[in-house]
């Protein structure tokens, strides 16, 4: 039941980081998590927020719902 929101079920937002050589080096050098995330995004990783905004553009969910679940 959608409770008159127009949406049913659940949609997953995923943040998957592949460990490249640059990321491995940052991890072993004990770099801050924000530095590691920055490297991953530069290498093509989509954050949960980015994934959520794409779902909003597709009309799959609302901005309010994305902001609620993808707090960064």
Kindly report the backbone phi and psi dihedral angles of residue 38, in degrees, each rounded to the nearest multiple of 5, phi listed first.
-60, -45
Does any domain span residue 2?
A: no
Whole-model pTM over 0.75 = no
In a domain, 53, yes or no: yes
**How many structural domains does the chain have?**
1
pLDDT at 36 over 80: yes
Rounded to whole angstroms, the Cα distance separating 70 from 72 reads 6
Report the C-alpha gap between 4 and 71 in whole angstroms: 25
pLDDT attached to residue 3: 65
Residue 40's domain comprises 21-69
Is 50 domain-assigned? yes
Within a domain: residue 3? Answer: no
């Amino acid at each position: 039941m959608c409770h008159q929101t127009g949406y049913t079920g659940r949609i997953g937002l995923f943040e998957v980081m592949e460990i490249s050589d640059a990321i491995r080096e940052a991890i072993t050098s004990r770099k801050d998590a924000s530095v590691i995330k920055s490297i991953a995004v530069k290498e093509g990783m989509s954050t949960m927020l980015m994934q959520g905004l794409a779902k909003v553009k597709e009309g799959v969910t609302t901005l309010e719902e994305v902001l609620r679940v993808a707090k960064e």
